[in-house]
Structures are given as structure tokens and as C-alpha cells.
Amino acid sequence: MKSHFNHLQSLTPALSPGITFFWGLMLLTASTSATLGQTSGKYMTRTGSAHFVADGVIKDDVAAKTNTVTAVLDPNTGQVQVRIPINSFVFRKALMQEHFNENYLESHQFPFANFKGQVADWDASMMQKSGSQKIKFMGKLEIHGISKDVVEPGTMELSGGQIRMSTDLMVTVADYGIKVPTLVRDKIAKEAAVHVEVHLKPSGQ
């Protein structure tokens, strides 16, 4: 940052210290904004929802929901990033929530599930269409520190300046190194049905 100031001063030798300070502040602000998020011109949310069900022999219980999913869409390229805080999943049963975080997903070590990828065949005209559009998400899904290439179907709908995106996917527990104790292995499903839905707004709103 020091070099920015030196460069600025050499270009504007007649500027008063106050003006130099102002430009320095502008540079600092721009630099910080670029580091944090880089969401300018993008659509985003921090309050998307995700829920999953993994019923095996134990019915209706292995299910949880969160409402603090972060998602960012770049409307120019169709790039998508989704981040789900693992510890934000709320279960109906405290014991199950505790086991999910401490034994299975180890949220202290792997606090987020991440998706980083792209809407397949993204076209800028998709941002003009009304009604629900069928899309495909392609990219890397990382859960429990293990990353896998995925292609998942989804939908996208524009409404009132917002973009609603959703997907339903099946996550195979063993694929992500999640170890289920032998005692309950036969009682819990090997796959979890996950639904994610986000309502994206232009960043800054």
C-alpha cells in the first residue's frame, strides 16, 4: 500500500496533503473491498435455505435445516459459489445434532460445505427469460474436506429483480469420508437427499 501512496504523490506533486489523504483512503477502500467478497455486479444472498433427509431404519429423524446459506452468482459468466455452515443445521433432536457435528461432519474441523462451479451452457439471455428454467450445476462439491466433481440438475427463475435458484441432489455419505459407527450403520441411510434454495439479489441490496 505504501507504494500506492508514493506513486500517487509522484504523479500529483501539487496536491495538498488533504487531497492525497483522500485518494489514499479511496485506494485503501477499493483494495479492502476487492479482498472481501468481490461481489460487485454479482447476485448474492446469505440467507438461502438447505435441508436434508437421510432416513434409514430410523424414520423422520435424520433431517435438518439451515437458513444461512451463502450463494453468489456472477451473471456475466454463470459462475456460482455456495457455502453452507455445517453447524447451522438444526435438528429436531439435540443428540442427533451433537453427533452430526462432532462425530460425522466434524464441523469444528470442516465448518463449511462448499460448491464452486458454473451453470452449464450459461448464456446472458438466461437473465432475460421469465418463468422457471431448467439448468445444470457443474463444479466441485466439497463436504467434510473432500471434494468431488458433480453435475446436478436445478431450476432458475427471475422474479422482481431477484433470481431464485434451487437444486435437489443425493449425497452418498461414504463418498465424503463420513464415518458412521458400526452400531448405527444399518439404521442410517447411505445417502442423504439434499435440497438447496437461494433467492439472490444484486449485491449491495
Q: Are 158 and 124 in contact (CB under 8 A)?
A: no
Q: What distance in Å separates the CA atoms of residue 149 and residue 169, rounded to the nearest whole number? A: 13
Which residues, numbered 10-29, are part of the site for other proteins (CB under 8 A)?
A: none
Q: Which stretch binds other proteins (CB under 8 A): 1-9, 68-76, 130-138, 164-172?
A: 68-76
DSSP state of 58: S
Could you tell me which stretch among 15-23, 80-88, 141-149, 162-170 binds other proteins (CB under 8 A)? Answer: 80-88
Binding test (CB under 8 A) with other proteins, winner from 9, 20, 39, 79? 39
**Residue 52 near residue 84 (C-beta atoms within 8 A):** no
Residues 95-114 that bind other proteins (CB under 8 A): 95, 97, 101, 107-108, 111-112
- For residue 15, give every residue at least 6 positions away whose Cβ sits within 8 Å of its Cβ, in sequence order, or none: 9, 23
Q: Does the protein bind other proteins through residue 94 (CB under 8 A)? A: yes
Q: Looking at beta carbons only, is 9 or 162 nearer to other proteins?
A: 162
Q: Which residues pair with 20 in a beta bridge?
A: none
As a whole number of angstroms, the distance between CA 67 and CA 90 comes to: 9
Q: Which residues bind other proteins (CB under 8 A)?
A: 32-33, 35-37, 39, 44, 46-47, 49, 66-68, 70, 72, 81, 83, 85-88, 90-95, 97, 101, 107-108, 111-112
